[in-house]
Chains A and B, each alone.
Chain A
């Protein structure tokens, strides 16, 4: 039960020296928009705002004489609300770059508005690979992950270890459809087949009916093409209905640390999924997680938070190099031209279609006995090298790619 209250708050003004004359209105204004209160709030939410501010701080914007401000808003996972916020931001509040925007349906709407106004859109939370496919624009960079990468990582690994027949439990909106489509393609390309699918309303609460249909399909793999609270409830209820005991396997196509935390290792153990970033992978990540946790009530960061951090750093680099944030398309062109590097995502690059390229990881959820510390939930089973992790440029149908 949420109303169209919009909580736009000016969050932090990192004041510094004299205003830089080349910047539009003298300030680089970053607008973080995501689900601040609903089923995706732990995936990015208020932590996403924190990550953007942290990036500004670590970049040393103040010391470089750049005046950067971070604002945030709640789109409640609704495209109409998201569009209104972004129009207000770009037209009235002089926001220069929109960041994060999970929920693919909202991201696709924002994608068009940002292009129309020639600003910049850095996507971390949204999944649909269409953002760098048919819907790609010269103003959008898709940073963290996408449905193709998830399908490619998890789908391929499962088919290759014998999971040949699949049934989809799909969230009924842009994201679920894209994830189902991309996974289906990978499954079929690797010799598996899809025996059925059911689309559940988004967001849902009770999945038992759909799970029973999945059970009845006799598919070896029940793929969950949903996210956040929907995935958590699906897995929890699948355990209750003895689906895994009955010999079928679950594949969470998109999962986050926070989902594992909510499920508990006892229920989640053994799940395989693909992620762009894991907090316990190296010292830099652990340090980031420590700061994050201290500032966010003990929660740990997800790949979306890391992606926000990393994309904001690269954006600031491009703006610094151009000495201007006025022309969104020019800033994004600069981001594509410069290699990216930061402490969380390491070295990478942004392709012409706006896709940021980096390694992805296939991880497995630990058994309860193997977890040695808080949020110690995953083992990295395989690194998927950057060159293979994302959809080949030519296959995306992005109009920016000249064939």
Chain B
């Protein structure tokens, strides 16, 4: 370990960059969760399954229809988002007046069912998805695959775009107002239920987009979502439930911390995020960026 500390400012840079790449996934997924929780008050446990569906739909588009990666990037969020809209219309909207727990149980159950169906159909080993940007750049301190560089850039753009949309545009202000006082906003002639439905669809679309981005890196696997969702929930809790900026900053930040743990004490890299979560909850129960209600 000291040897690593000794020789490795360069290797350290590499690990920091890798952490940032992983953080990009955490940020995108927790962003969708934060949007859904912030605006709908639903704890969306199907998020992992929707991320997995994103990767699978990309695979299906490629294998069955011949739509390449770049097309999938546009189509998949729409397709999976539409599925989300359907879920909201059929199930979720009946639960808004009930305790959070009901939404959690429903979405958790749905997640298990969706995963089960994919596992039955495609097995648990996963499917190959070719890398659309093979090759990479040899930097001083590491070999940076082109595709991973693209993931970081895309994720930053998406995260910032979402934040801007919700916090800085008129549409966003309607959304936030509808959360506080749906009756008043409705009285101004805005169709609040439709807006909520579309918001859920948007959050799900974000998860699916993350799934498409993940497909060439991780194997397209029915379990890929459940492996990640717990960490992503921890990220949202640390950032502050419902805080958009919190989700983005903690997503990237925790990716980096986890990356460093993988160098200095790899055995703990699975748990470090939860240790941080426990500490944050003790010191700031509403999360780093959350405001106590």
Q: Which of B174-182, B191-199, B225-233, B285-293 contacts A (4 or more CB under 8 A)?
A: B225-233
Scan residues 247-264 of chain B and give those whose CB is less than 8 A from a CB of chain A. 259, 262-263
Q: A1-B230, A209-B259, A212-B15 are in contact. Are A39 and B145 (CB under 8 A)?
A: no
Known: A39-B223, A216-B11. A240 touches B128 (CB 8 A): no
Let me know if A210 and B267 touch, CB within 8 A: no
B11: shortest Cβ distance to chain A, in Å?
5
Q: How far is the CB of B103 from chain A (nearest CB, A)?
A: 16
Query: A202-225 CB contact bits vs B (8 Å, 1 = yes)?
Result: 011110111011011000000000
Residue contact A172 to B143, C-beta cutoff 8 Å? no
> B143–A229 contact, CB under 8 A?
no
For window 107-157 of B, CB contacts with A under 8 Å fall at: 108, 111-112, 116, 119-121, 123-128, 130-131, 135-136, 142-143, 145, 147-148
CA distance A240 to B217 in the complex (A): 8
A242-B142 Cα distance, complex, nearest whole Å? 11
The reply to whether A2 and B226 contact each other, CB–CB distance below 8 Å, is yes
12 contacts between A and B (CB under 8 A): A1-B226, A2-B226, A37-B116, A38-B124, A38-B223, A42-B124, A200-B266, A201-B269, A212-B14, A212-B15, A241-B145, A263-B128
B41 at the interface (CB under 8 A from A): no
B125 with A258: CB separation less than 8 A: yes
Known: A2-B226, A206-B18. 13 other contacts (CB 8 A): A39-B124, A45-B124, A203-B227, A204-B270, A209-B259, A209-B262, A229-B124, A229-B126, A232-B126, A233-B219, A240-B136, A240-B145, A240-B216
Collect the chain B residues with CB atoms within 8 Å of residue A237's CB. Answer: 217
- Asked whether any CB of chain B lies closer than 8 Å to the CB of A397, the reply is no
For chain B, what secondary structure do more than half of its interface residues adopt (helix, strand, loop), or is it mixed? Answer: helix
Instruction: Give the residues in chain A near B223, CB-CB below 8 Å.
Output: 38-39, 229
What is the bound-complex CA distance between A264 and B148, given in angstroms? 21
Question: Within the complex, what minimum Cβ distance (angstroms) separates B125 from chain A?
Answer: 4
**Which one, A198, A200, A205, A239, contacts B227 given CB within 8 A?**
A205
Residues of A within 8 A of B238 (CB): none
| CB within 8 Å for A258 and B267 given contacts A229-B223, A246-B143 | no
CB nearest to B145 among chain A residues: A240
Closest to B270 in A: A201
Pick from B45, B124, B259, B267: contact of A37, CB under 8 Å: B124
Alpha-carbon gap, A209 to B135, bound state (A)? 18
User: How many B residues face the partner with a CB closer than 8 A?
Assistant: 51
Is A369 interfacial (CB 8 A cutoff)?
no
Interface membership of B240, Cβ < 8 A: no
Chain A residue total in the interface (Cβ 8 A): 47
CB-defined contacts of A240 to chain B, threshold 8 Å = 131, 136, 145, 147-148, 216-217
CB distance from A380 to the nearest CB of B (A): 22
With A198-B266, A199-B267, A212-B142 as contacts: A228 and B228 at CB distance below 8 Å: no
A209 to chain B, nearest CB (A): 4
A125 smallest CB distance to B (angstroms): 14
Q: A325 contacts the other chain (Cβ, under 8 Å)? A: no
Quote the shortest CB–CB distance from B134 to chain A (angstroms): 8
The A252-298 residues at the B interface (CB cut-off 8 A) are 258-259, 261-264, 266-267, 297
Is B44 on the interface with A (CB-CB < 8 A)? no
* Residues of chain A contacted by B75 (CB below 8 angstroms): none
- Smallest CB gap from A209: residue in B: B262
- Indicate if the CB atoms of A299 and B21 lie closer than 8 Å: no
Q: Of the candidates A208, A236, A297, which one forms a contact with B219 in the assembled complex, judged by CB atoms under 8 Å apart?
A: A236
Q: How far is A43 from B123 in the complex, measured between Cα atoms in Å?
A: 10
